[in-house]
Amino acid sequence: MTSNMCKPVGSARAGDHCCLSFDSDAEQRDVVAAYVRDGLEQHDKVVYFAAGEPTTVLGFLAEGGIEPGPCLESGQLRVLSPLEGFFAHGAFDPDVMVSALRKMATEALDEGYHTFRATGEASAVRTWPCFERLLEYERKVDVVYADRNTVGLCQYDRRMFSAAELRAAEDAHSVHVGPDPIYRDSLLSITRTYDPPGLRIVGEIDSSRGHIWRDALAAEAEATGDDVHLDVSGLRFVDVGGARLLARTADELGRRRCRLLLHRISEEPRRLLRLTGWEQLPALVVEER
Amino acid sequence: MSRALHSHGHGGVRTVAGMHAALVYSSDDEFLSLATPYIQEGLHADEQVLVVTTGTNIELLRDRLDDHAAGVDFIDSSVWYSSPANTLFAYDQYVHDQEQRTRPVRILGEPPWEDRSPLRRRAWQRYESLLNLAFADRDMSCVCPYDTRVVEPSVLASARRTHPTLITIDAEQPSTDYAEPAEFCAECDDTPLPAPPGPISEREFDAAALKSAREFVTWVADQAGLPSPRVSELVTAVNEITTNAVRHGGGRGRLRTWREDHCLVFEVDDSGRSRPDPLAGHLRPPADPHRSGGYGLWLARQLCDLVEVRDGPGWLVRLYAEVE
């Protein structure tokens, strides 16, 4: 699943059985933290099935701006270790898991929560007992999430599954989600990318969006000590001011021996960089579509 | 700019770095006897020699230079002189490339003057004047032939105003009519533009309407049958001018469009800023990305066939794109 076919995680709605396949911890954490945050904000019951220590999850939720303490205390948020969650009844069993989820959902709604919102790290159950049972679970759990007051997000770490397994797992989900855009309006959207690390830009950059573009580039350059990659294949228009910001960012990255790489650039923005001479900047790498 | 102040008996052009001279000739023989030694001297000094002239003159020179012709870059003037702004930039790049190799450049460049509308002719005259700025302090010389058999007297008169040096078969001397580029360009920009001849479409724009102004340009240019890459260039050009109007010209302006003389014309006028600098946007600003401003008008000039700027209540900018 390529990331451009994904919906932003913020658009996940009750009734969705979502799949997130990610390449890096940073991507997983951004998306999952947003998913949990959205749930807590709209008074959902949030249950997290972890593959490792719950403290790890609580740690990155806190980094994502969520203060887990009060929600844990009230019971609105539960982060379950493998033994409390996936393996609460021994080896992972799809039927047992589905009925457990259904029960949790009913209880949550009885307690007055708006929606039952679950998420789980699928790598926990890849080998115990086997991948086929995980896939069987994915097909059976559709019924639970089809309920309009339930939403689920299954997390697949691409580093832990084979390409064929991933394809099968993704096919078992009706919705695929990725990061929320850093910025989005009718003209322009800017979304973080993780492999390679950088931004994906879709739409048009003119002087009315200049300040947004400037802030996004500056934040990205500041956040990394490395090269910044921009996927500009969806950049339909950029004015001189917008192109100048690219050149400035490249120049600043160059001062610390890093580069700005523009991937899959289309002809018009390319011409602008060529004519202005900014394409010659040593730290600006332009790769054609 | 230092100039060659030298009179010569027969043949040869006395050159110094930075020279920009008009070479006025009235026959093939005169052309050859003035141009050939100029070229030979450059080859002898191991300079990069570029000759842009008519196909006929290229043949004459190849014939006369014989084996030495191989050391010369010959380009047909009908290919090279696309638009004044593009040509100015192409010369700049050519010289720049040779500067990287610390090689002096010697140019013989003859723009075509026939069949130009008054508007076009003036733009090329202004271009001749701007060459003085583009070439100032660079290790190069440029001689521009003018064929009295084909150019009009008014073109010759302006050549005397745009070239510090005049070369004829009789003498090489400073031009007493020479005008500084700022003065000459200001005169060009004071010439009134013709009133639009046909139906006009127009719309107002402000900061929030830059996008819809682009859509308007796209629609109009599509309707005129321009190919899609050309439409994109026009959209970029007009957008830079509307953006300038929004940022420096009172926050809003008016965009008008019409057909004129095989051209699609877009006109942007705004309401509040001082008289345009006659040299604005003719020479490429330094590539330093930390400098702000200065690129929009230059880029518009590069992307259109012609751009004219006039002083109105604010700035009035007309952008021309040829339509076939």
Contact A272 B243 (CB under 8 A): no
Taking CB atoms and an 8 Å cut-off, how many pairs form between chains A and B? Answer: 61
> How far apart are the C-alpha atoms of B299 and A152, rounded to whole Å?
51
Instruction: Determine the distance in angstroms separating the CA of B108 from the nearest CA of chain A, rounded to an integer.
Output: 25
What average pLDDT does the segment A4-21 reach?
90
Residues of A with Cβ-Cβ distance to B235 under 8 angstroms: 237
Contact B210 A207 (CB under 8 A): yes
A212 touches chain B (CB under 8 A): no
pLDDT of residue A228: 97
- B88 and B131 Cβ atoms separated by less than 8 Å: yes
Residue B136 has pLDDT above 70, yes or no: yes
Band the pLDDT of A8: cuts 50, 70, 90.
Answer: very high
**Which one is predicted more confidently, B7 or B238?**
B238
A185 touches chain B (CB under 8 A): no
pLDDT of residue B68: 93
pLDDT of residue B162: 98
Residue B254 has pLDDT above 70, yes or no: yes
Contact B287 A271 (CB under 8 A): no
pLDDT of residue B15: 60
| DSSP codes of every residue in A31-58 | HHHHHHHHHHHTT-EEEEE-SS-HHHHH
Q: Specify which of A229-243, B259-273, B274-288 reaches the highest per-range mean pLDDT.
A: A229-243
Render the burial of B9-25: b for 16+ CB within 10 Å, e for the rest.
eeebbbbeebbbbbbbb
Residues 281 through 310 of chain B touching chain A, CB cutoff 8 Å: 284, 287, 289-290, 292, 295-296, 299, 302
> How far apart are the C-alpha atoms of B24 and B182, rounded to whole Å?
24
Q: What is the pTM of this model?
A: 0.87
In a mutational test of the B interface, the residue from A209, A248, A273, A276 whose CB has the highest number of chain B CBs within 10 Å is A276
Report the run of H or E that residue B144 belongs to, with start and end. Answer: strand B140-147
In a mutational test of the B interface, the residue from A185, A204, A206, A235 whose CB has the highest number of chain B CBs within 10 Å is A206
Residues of A with Cβ-Cβ distance to B246 under 8 angstroms: 207
A186-240 confidence digits (pLDDT tens): 999 999 999 899 999 999 999 999 999 999 999 999 988 899 999 999 999 999 9
Residue percentage of chain B with pLDDT more than 70: 95
Cα atoms in the 13 Å half-sphere on the side-chain side of B111: 26
pLDDT of residue A1: 41
> How far apart are the C-alpha atoms of B165 and A11, rounded to whole Å?
71
Residue B114 has pLDDT above 90, yes or no: no
Residues of B with Cβ-Cβ distance to A255 under 8 angstroms: none
Strand order in the sheet with B72-76: B72-76, B48-53, B105-109, B140-147, B20-25, B165-167, B172-174
pLDDT of residue B17: 67
